[in-house]
Structure formats: structure tokens, C-alpha cells
Amino acid sequence: MRRIKLVIHYDGTGYHGWQRQPDHVTIQETIEAAMERLCGGRIELLGSSRTDAGVHAVGQVAHCDLESPIPACNLAQALNNLLPEDIVIAEAADADAAFDAIGDTKSKWYRYTICTEPVRPVLAIRHCWHRPGALDVEKMREAAAKLVGQKDFKSFAAAADQRQSSIRTILKCSVAREDSFIYTDVEADGFLYNMVRNIVGTLVEVGRGRWEPDYIDQILAAKDRSAAGPIAPACGLCLMEIHY
């Protein structure tokens, strides 16, 4: 048995998220099926992030164990020939037997894209939240800065989140505008369920003038999902990089 580390990119539009589940097509099962066809046997792929339905990735990392002697440099190419065009293995490499794509994760970086153009951006519509209308990026930036650090993010977690502790450390939370696109980049040592989308939905409430940036302190203190803004749509979210 050899441990393999994979870097995976996908357009999540047509998938019910990363994680295998009954009655829905997922990224994990699609890649596992290609690996099983190529290498034989049952293969389990463990991905660092369980991205939701409709969420994209250009830096998902996963590991699996293989019996097959296929050189790692040929594995990506062979898998890509079997995979649909909206999923690609960007890198495949032999890894230390102890490498754990989930457990060894130090931090993850997600990017959320908003398009403020009045006209529906037909060529980008699968990869952004189309929200016409002005947003005050300077105020969004002030609000984003208040989220950086080790804090209890319970107000930004889906009520369904079962994890015991809602304390996480956000290393970076920045907002940048480029023409009519607004990019929110969030890097943290871990994320609660729907945390980035709830953060972006909240920053948009600040950007449109409903809340002042200082209101973020009250949202954090409330430790209650209903204190924060509405969830931003999945299609604007992309997993950019996992750091080990």
C-alpha cells in the first residue's frame, strides 16, 4: 500500500458537494469511481474540505491508499482522461505514509466572489453571486478586519453544525474590488458549517448600509446564528488552497 496526495480542482455546479451520499452525484464518488476503474479494488478518498453542493475548488487536497504500482506522475493524467471535464486532478504525488489530508491541515483559504453589475454576467454566473447594486467596500473591509483572530464564531455557524467548539482562528479576512467584482478572501485554521457564506452574507449587510462595521462585535458576542446576516449563495464560493 502507498499513500497518495492529490490536489483537485472542480466546478461544483453539477455536484451535490464533495462528500459521498446516497442518491446524489458528488465529487468524492466521481473521483473514487475513476480510481477504482483505473486501479481496481475499493478506494476511499479523504478530502480536507467537505465543500457543499455548488461550491467550487481550485485547491482541494485529498489522500488515499493504493495497491497499484502506477507511477504517481502518470496517475493524474490517466484519471483526468476518465473524469468529466469539470473535475481535474491537478497534482498526484507519493506521500509519507502518515500524511493525513484532513488531520494535517494547518489552514484553509476560501474566496467568495460577488458581481455587482446590473446585467446578469452570463459567462461568470456559475461562479459568483450576482447581486446588482452598490456596496461600500471600505466598510466591508472594516467589518472584515473585526473577524480576524481567535474568536467564537457560533453566530456564523449553521444551526446544524454539530461540532463541540465554535472557536476558530481567522488568519486573514480581506475584501477587494476589481471592476464590478468584489472578492472576499478568508483564511482560517478551520471553518464551521457555512461559516464563509454566513460571513459574506453579513459583510454584504454592512456594505449595503444596514449595519455599521462595529456591529460585527455585537454579532460575535451574541453567539447566535440569527444575529448575523443571511447566508450567501453557494455558487460564489471557491476553496483556493489548503496549507499544511
Chain contacts with a copy of itself (rule: CB under 8 A):
9-11, 56, 58, 80, 85-88, 90, 119-120, 122-123, 125, 127, 238
Give least dist CB 191 to a copy of itself, A: 21
Which of 11, 23, 52, 104 is an active site residue? Answer: 52
Q: What are phi and psi of 67, to 5 degrees?
A: -90, -30
Residue placing its CB nearer to a copy of itself in the complex, 9 or 20: 9
- Residue 219 or 238 with smaller CB distance to a copy of itself: 238
Query: Of 97 and 123, which CB lies nearer to a copy of itself in the complex structure?
Result: 123
Cell numbers at residue 134, please?
Answer: 452598490
Does 52 participate in catalysis according to the annotation? yes
Supply the minimum distance, in Å, between the C-beta of residue 185 and a copy of itself: 16
Residue 131 CB, shortest distance to a copy of itself, in Å, is 14
Which residue lies nearer to a copy of itself by CB, 127 or 208?
127
Minimum CB distance to a copy of itself, residue 50 (Å): 19
Residues annotated as part of the active site: 52
